Structure 1
Amino acid sequence: MGDNGPARSIRDLLRSLAVFDTELPEFDVDAAPSDPVALFVEWLTSAVKAGVREPHAMSLATADAAGRPSSRVLICKDLEADGTWFFATSAGSRKGRELARNPYAALCFHWPEQGRQVRVRGVVVPAGAERSAADFLARSPGARADALTGRQSQVLDDPSDLDDALRTAHAEIEADPGVVAPGWTLYGVRADDVEFWQADRDRRHTRLRYTRQESGWARHRLWP
């Protein structure tokens, strides 16, 4: 089909899509708090009030021992004042295995309705058995049953195998409501740096990066 084929159609479609086609909030860097956690709470609260869908969803990027990255979207479970963001997964999952070999990760929150991103990068540390168990037991029965199957990311040859495994897991939960999936882990990303990105229609994007120092946080405005 040459230049009139599907590739061109997709390219034209992508270029035709609007970007930042909404009213965007302002970001006064000079008025920003001295630490990134306070600013994150401000932005998250604003996103919730603005009706942003699933504002607690974030991408998590990890890398294997060879440095090959992988990413996925999951839910932020908690945030502590020292600059640690939390998520949970099975230690036997792909991300769990990669973190065991390379305990660093990057997070990204994207709130397109407001033209905002928050990027977090740092070392990842398990939160411990007690907090991990509490996180697991706070999940819905369906989410707990899914985790109890213990086969995330493995090849599924027959969908009926999944149905059977879920029935078994639900029965296990009914028999023992306090059961916790082996290897379920709450992980904390202790940020080395956090960047706040505010879009601008004229591409004069505002970027503010916080970098952890021994005495606190250093702040730097970045070029767009």
Structure 2
Amino acid sequence: MTMPLDRPEAWQIDEHRVLGTGRVCSFVEDDITPPSGEQFTRQYLTHPGAVAVMALDEQGRVAVVHQYRHPVAMKLVEPPAGLLDAEGESFLLAAQRELAEEALLKADDWRVLVDIFTTPGGCEESIRIYLARGLSAAPRPDGFVVEDEEAHMDISWVDLDELVDEIFAGHVQSPSMVSGALALQTARLSGRLDALRPADAPWPARDIWAARVAERRAMESGE
């Protein structure tokens, strides 16, 4: 039996409309024609994508941040993470920057832990979650200013086994934290940590995202 895998598939966009534009995301609407020929409409949020970091120390602890998330009115336990919104910055450099900015850490060993779509039914956000090991203290990058939610963010170390228990108890709900912790625990228990993908492994979802962005921009400009 062939293993079912995610695969690229782009249905025809007949018309694209921008319903609202924000600082990070836009709310858009597409008229779509699938291979069967009937047309339907879908609304969704655009998103630049993000990276997150599961920073694991030699004691089996993970560095986590406690960040207020206004849409859900909760302060969530999350891995250090940030948007892919710096022009020309590699995914790995973005992850390294976020680890220094939010957790004041750097790492000697970087690997790709897991790639996810957070809410593919309504938002195009994709996240690459890295595993970082060989940790040591690091200063915040020059020019970085702590503001908004980050000014109220706490940092702590949590035992990975306990973190997994809290996820199954329903006490930890961030998609990057749930995916990252469960993937990390699986990799650790199965002896896969050193066999994880290299830090510069291809990320096909981002190529698809870039093509879709170019298509939308062309439709918005009337080209």
Q: Same fold (TM over 0.5)?
A: no
* TM-score scaled by length of structure 2: 0.30
> Which one has the bigger helix percentage?
1
Structure number with bigger Rg: 1
* TM-score scaled by length of structure 1: 0.30
